[in-house]
Amino acid sequence: MTLTFGLTDELVNTQFAPVAALSAYYQAHDVLKPLEMVTVAMKAIEYSPVNKLTQVFVSVLTGCEHVAMINTRLRPERLLAQVWRNQRFAHQATLSETLDGLSLANLAQLDTAVNQICRPCSRTHRHDWRGLLWLDYDLSGMPCGKGAEGGEKGFFSGKKTPSDANWHG
């Protein structure tokens, strides 16, 4: 699939252009192919169960915090739906029914599929566990001293730390 990005005379094409580009990449590289192993015993009228699970995934990418947000945030995005080879996205009730219809076996299959999708992107999966994994949760914005292990100058609240602010010597 070839996507073209540029300016048009229309007021709005899609507010999710980065998601459209990511979607094209996912399709070109079959990133979501593991979802096909989730075998939901459900009839497909307009959308297959795998297509519905994919739409739920796209709703997460577009910032839907709840399935109910799909109708107002994702469903009007017809151009984004066309990237996924749909005329439009499914109604939130349709997607909710699919999620409600997942059995424990389906959830296990979905867990395996999500792990297969996420593993190639995971930095912790590729981490050399013979050494330490450094996590920095300091959100205080306080300057660190020269003796702070792994301390570096950086950004906080959009303000760059001056070169000599943390290194009093």
Strand partners, 159: 156
Task: Tell me, yes or no, whether 167 and 107 share the same domain.
Answer: no
Does residue 96 share a domain with residue 33? yes
> Would you state the pLDDT for residue 7?
66
Evaluate whether residue 7 is within a structural domain: no
Q: How confident is the model at residue 32 (pLDDT cuts 50, 70, 90)?
A: very high
Per-residue pLDDT for 51 more than 90?
yes
pLDDT in tens, 88-123: 999 999 999 999 999 999 999 999 999 999 888 777
- In terms of residue numbers, what domain contains 32? 17-121
Report which DSSP code applies to 143: P
The answer to whether residues 142 and 98 belong to one domain is no
- 82 and 154 assigned to the same domain: no
Half-sphere exposure of 64 (CA within 13 A, CB side): 21
Residue 155 has pLDDT above 90, yes or no: no
Least confident of 39-43, 46-50, 65-69, 157-161: 157-161
Of the chain, the percentage scoring pLDDT greater than 70 comes to: 72
Q: Please indicate, yes or no, if residue 160 is contained in any of the structural domains.
A: yes
The confidence score (pLDDT) of residue 152 equals 66
CA distances from 58 to 53, 129, 137 (A): 9, 32, 29
Alpha-carbon separation of residue 161 from 7, 10, 135, 140 (angstroms): 37, 42, 20, 14
The reply to whether 101 falls in a domain is: yes
In a domain, 127, yes or no: no
**Is the Cβ–Cβ distance between 3 and 24 less than 8 Å?**
yes
Determine, yes or no, domain membership for 104: yes
pTM of the model: 0.68
CB–CB of 14/84 below 8 Å?
A: no
The count of structural domains within the chain is: 2
